[in-house]
Amino acid sequence: MLAQMATAETNMFVEPAAVQRVRELFEELLENVNKSLQDYNQIEADQKAAFAILKANLLDTIAKLESNQSRLELHIEEMEQCILEEQVVIERATEKVTRNTNLLNASVAMCEAFKAEFEVATDSRNEELELLVVVRQMVNKRLGGLGASVVERDDGFAAYEGAEFEEQTFGHANAGNQDDNLGLSL
């Protein structure tokens, strides 16, 4: 409208209808600007409220995360301590397994040595028993008929008849010559 008034051949700025029309347009513009301003103010107020709610939610979330962070850091420390303790337990258990394995191996070796020693001793005793049987057979073969060939006594034990003997001078333990039986106890 202002452009028309400026380009018109007649001076429209003095015409009351044209001025009224411009006034109405300015008032309409002012009304639209005020309405837009109110809409923008309302939108801004809504956005401020939404921002405040979002900010409060974010600050609450940050506080919770910081709290969780502290809790989780404490939990991590506890778990690291637990891991260290478990590593100590594992090391001790590994040492115990190694020690027990060494003890088992030593025990097995000792048992095998005892078994071998027992077998050697058993074989040795069996050989000794076989040798004793052979020696007895030889003694019986050589001295077995000795008593049958004695017919009488020649010195006459009559001289000692009725005599008392003391156990120290004559007894079974120290009687006779031990050499003639080759030191064998039969």
User: In this structure, which amino acid lies at residue 159?
Assistant: A
pLDDT for 25 equals 82
Does the pLDDT at position 157 exceed 90?
no
Contacts with 79 (C-beta within 8 Å, 6 or more apart), sequence order: none
- pLDDT of 185 > 60? The answer is no
**How far, in Å, CA of 14 to CA of 84, rounded?**
98
Structure tokens at 4: 């028309």
Query: Which one has a higher pLDDT value, 42 or 186?
Result: 42
The arithmetic mean of pLDDT across residues 160-166, rounded, is: 66
Residue the block writes with tokens 């506890």? 78
Query: What residue spans define the domains of the chain?
Result: 2-139
Whether 38 shows a pLDDT value over 80: the answer reads yes
Q: Contact at 8 Å (CB) between 30 and 24?
A: no
Residue type (1 letter), 97: V
What's the one-letter identity of residue 27?
Answer: E
Determine the average pLDDT of the residues in 74-82. Answer: 95
| pLDDT, the chain, mean | 81
